[in-house]
Structure 1
Amino acid sequence: MITLENIQNARDTISDTLEATPLVADHVLSERLGRRVWLKGELFQRTGSFKARGALNWVRTASHEELARGLGAVSAGNHALGLAWAARDAGVEVTIVMPENASPVKIEGSRALGAEVILHGDINDAWVLMHRLVEERGLTLVHPYDNPRIIAGQGTVGLEILEQAPDTSAILCPIGGGGLISGIGVAVRTLRPELCLLGVEPIGAASMAHAWTHNGPQQLDKVDTCAKSLAAAIVGEHTYPLCRQHVDALTSVDDDAIVDAMRHLMLNAKLFVEPGAAVGAAELLKGTSELPPQGDVVVVVTGGNMGWDELAELL
């Protein structure tokens, strides 16, 4: 069980180092919807995404034995950056396996923070190698999303939203493996049970919708999306039931809609976002979501770690 108390404790654990991220008004979407639309700017968090929250909470609540073995992780990039940063400050070694198509900015950033980064195959191949390294090296695996301490850290985003925008009636949150929306869901359902929580996935990596269809986590045969930060092939044993319990609905957007939303956020909100961070805005721009008739809408903008070459290729 992950409770509101776990999330509040996580905030106490990390708040001396990680500040609350701002809400940025999206005036264009606000005028289109006839209500205030806020963008929760997790791209302004340390290491450029919300992942620093869960990583720092995990490291600071870890036992000496867990840390002494060294840490291992699989990541498309943002978890790698967050964990490498949190572990560096604790003086702990980290080994991260990333898919070969991972963002060069995230690869080099993780290495600059002291992590050993191994590039290997796709995300499924990366997991196979990491499990082998855990056995061979005795590493402590820090799962990027399916861990209660990680989920509690990410859930601090939900506490901030409810405090910063008390008139919120709906939150749109990207889903990769489900850690962020699970943590937000626990906070929201406990404090504001009437609030609508909508999960948004890329069509080419809709692993949570796949799990809902099959009544449990089921691995996708492949993932194919420009939103690499959301390209989890399978959701977690923790995140699946939490999402079923706390998320009102799931929706998905294609790559063209994601790129259009990136353009919108860069030109109108002045936010330099990576593709996975734009899926919530993409859903609002699509205009098909059923939202409560009144109240503010908050879109979680999860990160901004992307290089110029990557942006040029997308646009």
Structure 2
Amino acid sequence: MSTTTESPIPTSITIETIWEARDRIAPYIHWTPVFTSETLNGLTGTRLHMKAENLQKTGAFKVRGALNAVAQLSVDERSAGVVTFSAGNHGQGLAFAAREFGVACTVFMTDTAVPSKVAAIQGYGASTRQFPTIQDAVAEMERTVEQTGAVFISPFANEAVIAGQATVALELLEQVEELEQVIVPIGGGGLISGTALTLRILQPDIRIVGVEPEGAPTMTRALQQGRPVTLESTNTIADGLTAPFTADLNLAIVRELVDDVVIVTDDEIVDALRLVLDRTKLLIEGSAAAGIAALLTGKAAVETGAVTAAILTGGNIDLGRLKGLL
């Protein structure tokens, strides 16, 4: 974390912005519970609190940011409709938000997107379009924006989205006393950006650790090279963490405010997923299990016995895939 007095982070997000987001989205979301497990405490060497965003509306935290963004659109912007690219969870969140506010929504995805996530997006009333690669999907989305004037709601590089995701951290601070560290899975970086902005203002001594899958180390590569990079391909069971690139805004926040970013393997993610299901009966997806995997393996270098929160980011796992894992 940087010790400079003047922040180089290019954002107008303030704690007031985040409080406003909390109030704005409150009528539409669940205040998700926090779960504990003595077994997981022992295995991780922490006093672990798991924030169950797998129980959130649409099955993931992503709906928070989507609602905050769509709620602030002008009448003309709502008439133009919204678009995004997504592996699935942001698409579901945006489709839900668009439905709540009567806005047309199209989600651009890959041909390999999890079928149940595609079906869920369509179930919320949005259209989906699928392409061979995420780069193809993004390119076609950008053409659509240019041709139709639709509003692009980024999964991670939109300030309203980040402020919405930041509300997870607000809740954690109220739910967990004497919180010392937070473990956050990273895809494009929206959740960890919001978490870091919130905690550094309200509880600046809390340690923040980001976690990426070995098959999609987007933020790690960006930190190494000092700029956002685009991965040629991603390959991980944690499909919600497969953003092939991040953005300048998210990189700046992570570089300045996050203590560490670590990488876990798919085998470690699967072991964590099984353990959480067995010991807590919480059904989570691979993306959510990444943070638990970092704690179980010791890759998240946390202080023994520290009060720790892990954000279980979602539970939208395909049942066929789950059967294969079990």
- Report TM bin, short chain: over 0.9
**Residue in structure 1 matching 2:292, options 271, 281, 284:** 281
Alignment of 1:106-121 (within 5 A): 106-121=117-132
| Amino acid paired to 2:31 | A
* Contact 2:46–2:304, Cα closer than 8 Å, also in 1: no
**Residue in structure 1 matching 2:66, options 32, 40, 55:** 55
Deviation at 1:208, TM superposition (A): 0.4
Provide the secondary structure at the position in 2 that maps to 1:238. helix
Is 1:43–2:58 an aligned residue pair? no
Alignment of 1:1-315 (within 5 A): 1=11, 2-315=13-326
Deviation at 1:48, TM superposition (A): 0.3
Partner Cα distance (1:271, 1:122) in 2: 32
Deviation at 1:166, TM superposition (A): 2.1
| Compared CA separation, residues 295 and 109, structure 1 to 2 (3 A) | same
Provide the secondary structure at the position in 1 that maps to 2:140. helix
| Amino acid paired to 1:173 | V
Deviation at 1:119, TM superposition (A): 1.2
Deviations 1:120-170 (A, max 9, x none): 112222111111211222211111111000000000001111111021111
Partner Cα distance (1:239, 1:284) in 2: 23
Deviations 1:73-118 (A, max 9, x none): 1000001111111111111100111111111111011101110111
Provide the secondary structure at the position in 1 that maps to 2:248. coil
Deviations 1:5-53 (A, max 9, x none): 1111100111122231110103212123443101110011100000110
Provide the secondary structure at the position in 1 that maps to 2:28. coil
Provide the secondary structure at the position in 2 that maps to 1:168. coil
Q: TM-score, normalised by structure 2?
A: 0.94
Provide the secondary structure at the position in 2 that maps to 1:204. coil
| Amino acid paired to 1:234 | F
Count, aligned residues: 315
* Contact 1:169–1:294, Cα closer than 8 Å, also in 2: no
* Contact 1:196–1:292, Cα closer than 8 Å, also in 2: no
Deviation at 1:181, TM superposition (A): 0.4
Deviation at 1:294, TM superposition (A): 4.7
**RMSD over equivalenced CA pairs, Å:** 1.2
Partner Cα distance (1:270, 1:282) in 2: 17
Partner Cα distance (1:221, 1:26) in 2: 39
Partner Cα distance (1:312, 1:224) in 2: 20
Provide the secondary structure at the position in 2 that maps to 1:313. helix
Partner Cα distance (2:294, 2:279) in 1: 16
Q: TM-score, normalised by structure 1?
A: 0.97
Provide the secondary structure at the position in 1 that maps to 2:106. strand
Deviation at 1:196, TM superposition (A): 0.2
Task: Quote the residue 2:4 is aligned against.
Answer: none
Partner Cα distance (1:84, 1:271) in 2: 25
Provide the secondary structure at the position in 2 that maps to 1:190. helix
* Contact 2:213–2:236, Cα closer than 8 Å, also in 1: yes
- Identical residues among aligned pairs (%): 40
Deviation at 1:4, TM superposition (A): 1.4
* Contact 2:230–2:245, Cα closer than 8 Å, also in 1: yes
Unaligned runs of 5+ in 1: none
